[in-house]
Structure 1
Amino acid sequence: MTTSISSKQTNKRLSLSIALASYNGERYIREQLDSIARQTRLPDELIISDDASVDATGDIVLGFAQNAPFPVRFQRNNVRLGSTRNFESAIRACNGDIIFLCDQDDVWYPDKIAVIEERFNSVSSIGAVFTEADVVDKDLHPLSQRLWKTFKFSPKEQAQVAASDALRVLLKHPVATGATMAFRSVYRDLVLPLPETIWHDAWIALLISATSCLTALPTPLIAYRQHDTNQVGIRLGNHRGKSCAAIYGPRILLYESALKRLLDSANRFSAREQKIRCLDEALLFSYVRAALPEARRQRLPSALHELMTLRYHRYANGLGSFFKDLRR
């Protein structure tokens, strides 16, 4: 049976869960929890999965839970599972219709939940939502630019996402940050288990954009904190000194894993044939880029062929990416 969600507006009240993964978060987690408690639309539950912290994280969470205006479930791993498995544990424990992903060190603006809930309610075909964010330092002071500009998520690409063409944008570069993301729990069986070596936000966004509608809200709804102990933070993809195989290998792994998951789940989550073809073509393009020879002079024939097929334009940044591959 294929999971299908109509595009008609629904008036059903959604139940909302937050999945927060913590590890040694005593420096910032109290501010994050307080920001959730100040939401104009409170969550129906907060699930916190702690990855065997050895600091005061547990005490802070338990103290918060005593007076929280919503149910808080705190589950603690006896041994470290790592960030991926820990996030997966939090997601699995959620009971809501919508699952909000949450980092321990950010701060949510008061209307984050309400704004995102309204978007899910307004168009029930939406499978996931991600938003803009203010990039701040460890003391919550604004840095030079917002998150989307940092990721070079252009107005043209934003228009593509708004036109239900998010997959093509994601096949050029990841633009959806997990800390800003929420998705319908009906897609949990599609995205779980999370691959250990793939960023969970890129994985979730890719799969949901292939089987449903991924939408972007241009309003910044969190302060996205950057500090010296970020687990992830802003990934800018510094490729200096790396081989083509090292640069494009992770992308190959993402696309191969996504295609396998989509095929394995096709009886429940159907992806349009056109989207599968795009993903397959992006994978073939990544194979070619990863196999570009170390000797720059020998790269031209393969790279020129990909340019002539327009794959550099469909799955990269056109001539700019072509010349970068020749110069690396």
Structure 2
Amino acid sequence: MIFSNFVKPLQCKKDIAILMATYNGAEFIGEQIDSIINQSAQNWELFIHDDGSTDQTKHLLNIYANKYPQKIHVLYGKSTGNAKKNFFYLMENVDANYIMFADQDDFWDKDKVKITYKKMLALEKEEVNVPVLVFADLEVVDRDLKTISPKMSKYQGLKMENTNFNYLMAQNIVTGCTVMINQKCKALSLVCRERDNVIMHDWWCALVASYFGKIGYIDKTLILYRQHGVNSVGAKNIHSISYVKEKLNKDRDQKKSLIKSEKQVALFVKTYNIKDDYIKTYSELYKLKKFKRVLFLIENKVWKSGLLRNIGLLYFC
């Protein structure tokens, strides 16, 4: 089904709305949509918003929407300008009990929806009426879906248990295309209207779930995460010499990255009127002297994953 000039949010008739942001994705988008169509669980509808593609993406989306009018819905609204804004636009314009995010160029395991949904329901039983986010690991593959690394967590040296707020302030370990959020998490995430300092939609949702509710990790690879040179966000091998050289040569970029995370937390403090001292201090870390910045990070266990990243954190803070 194709929607244009829609006035109010679209209502998902199934439990799960899968939101896909697209832009010039014609090369791989057919494989991705097919992998969603072939899910073992079918309690979902797919909502796609294209951001002004100039290749054959729109044409392919129309073909799929006409073939599966009850399952696939294409939204033709305003152009947003980037993936973050596109996903927020989709969250604002689609109502559902649960939301999953989908990139245009990956390939989903046939049980991804079923496994993620089961984990979500289990977490919601533990604590009712709180924002919940569920995420999983990924298999890193090349453009032909050949394995580069069986688990992205190992490839990037990520500690997937680092979901407490003090860790998430400095580093996001939640990859959006593996995520499911409940309605409470979506509603709280959308309270934020000034999103220039939101780094990515998945990071913001993770902060919301970590602070106000619960995050659950599935220690399985439920996506083939395709690397093809033009990904919005790609996987990098932290163990490679090239990665180390890149980080050492880009000290300004690392400083900018840290400042962006501080600004994001400052926005979180402002949006939700946060009173916690350590969170407020991190949001204004740049105001402290170097020694006090280092001391704050150590005392409050504001760490990233891995020794190399934490050396960089302390050095560039």
The question of a shared fold, defined as TM-score above 0.5 by the shorter chain, is answered with yes
Give 2:3's aligned residue: none
- Post-superposition shift, 1:233? 1.9
Aligned-residue offset at 1:325:
4.2
User: What's the CA shift for 1:116?
Assistant: 0.8
Pick closer, same or farther for the CA change 1:278–1:183 going to 2, 3 Å: farther
Give the Cα separation in 2 of the matches to 1:212 and 1:323: 30
CA distance in 2, matches of 1:203, 1:220: 22
Give the structure 2 partner of residue 187 of structure 1.
185
In structure 1, C-alpha distance between the alignment counterparts of 2:194 and 2:232, rounded to whole Å: 17
| Aligned mates of 1:129, 1:324 — CA distance in 2 | 27
Q: Decide whether aligned partners of structure 1 residues 40 and 144 sit closer, same or farther in structure 2, where only a CA change above 3 A counts.
A: closer
Indicate conservation of the 8 Å contact 1:131/1:181, yes or no: yes
Structure 1 residue identity aligned to 2:46: L
Is 2:126 the partner of 1:128?
Answer: no
Shift of 1:312: 6.3
Cα gap change, 1:148/1:32 in structure 2, threshold over 3 Å: closer, same or farther?
same
TM-score (norm 2): 0.79
Amino acid at match of 1:311: I
- Which shifted more, 231-240 or 121-130? 231-240
Counterpart for residue 295 of structure 1:
none
Cα distance 1:282–1:145, how it changes in 2: closer, same or farther (>3 A)? farther
1:57 paired residue number: 57
Q: Deviations over 1:212-237 (max 9, x none)?
A: 10111111100111112212223679
Partner of 1:96: 96
Task: Kindly provide the amino acid, as one letter, of the partner of residue 84 in structure 1.
Answer: K
Q: Which amino acid aligns with 2:286?
A: Y
Question: Corresponding residue for 1:200?
Answer: 201
Q: Does the Cα contact within 8 Å between 2:24 and 2:55 map onto a contact in 1? A: yes
Pairwise CA distance, 1:186: 2.2
Q: CA deviation at 1:107?
A: 0.6
For residues 307 and 293 of structure 2, what CA distance do their matches in structure 1 show? 11
User: Which position in structure 1 is the counterpart of 2:213?
Assistant: 212
Contact 1:134–1:223 (8 Å) recurs in 2 = yes
| C-alpha distance in structure 1 between counterparts of 2:72 and 2:297, whole Å | 51
**Once structures 1 and 2 are overlaid, which stretch shifts more, 40-49 or 196-205?**
196-205
2:247 counterpart of 1:242: no
How far, CA to CA, are the matches of 1:145 and 1:225 in structure 2? 12
Partner in structure 2 of residue 251 of structure 1: 261
Aligned partner of 2:11 in structure 1 is none
The aligned counterpart of 2:286 is 287
Greater mean alpha carbon deviation, residues 73-82 or residues 226-235: 73-82
In the TM superposition, what is the alpha-carbon distance from 1:45 to its structure 2 partner?
Answer: 1.5
C-alpha change, 1:278 and 1:68, in structure 2 (3 Å) is farther
Distance of 1:324 and 1:123 partners within structure 2: 33
* Residue aligning to 1:38: 38
CA contact (8 A) 2:99 2:182 kept: yes
Q: Out of 60-69 and 50-59, give the one that drifted further.
A: 60-69
Identify which range, 61-70 or 223-232, moves more after superposition. Answer: 61-70
Question: What is the Cα-based RMSD across aligned positions, in Å?
Answer: 3.0
C-alpha change, 1:327 and 1:85, in structure 2 (3 Å) is closer
Please state whether the residue corresponding to 1:31 is helix, strand or coil: helix
Structure 2: distance between partners of 1:24 and 1:249: 31
Instruction: Map Cα deviations across residues 195-248 of structure 1 (whole Å, 9 max, x no partner).
Output: 235122111111221111011111110011111221222367954233364242
Distance 1:131 1:253 in 2: 27
Contact 1:190-1:261 within 8 A present in 2 as well: no
| TM-score (ref. length: structure 1) | 0.77
Q: How many residues align?
A: 286
Question: Are the equivalent residues in 2 in contact too, given 1:312–1:319 (CA < 8 A)?
Answer: no
Q: Which residue of 1 aligns with 2:82?
A: 82
Is the aligned partner of 1:314 residue 2:301? yes
Extract unaligned runs of 5+ from structure 2.
Answer: 1-13
The Cα of 1:87 is off from its aligned counterpart by 1.5
Change in Cα spacing, 1:278 to 1:325, as seen in structure 2 (3 Å) is closer
Q: Retained in 2: the 8 A contact 1:127–1:212?
A: yes
Q: Deviations over 1:106-159 (max 9, x none)?
A: 1110000000110111121361111101011111111135211234223xx52x
Inter-CA distance 70–216: structure 2 relative to 1 (3 Å threshold)? farther
Q: Which residue of 2 aligns with 1:153?
A: 158
CA contact (8 A) 2:263 2:283 kept: no
Measure the CA separation in 2 of the matches of 1:183 and 1:327: 33
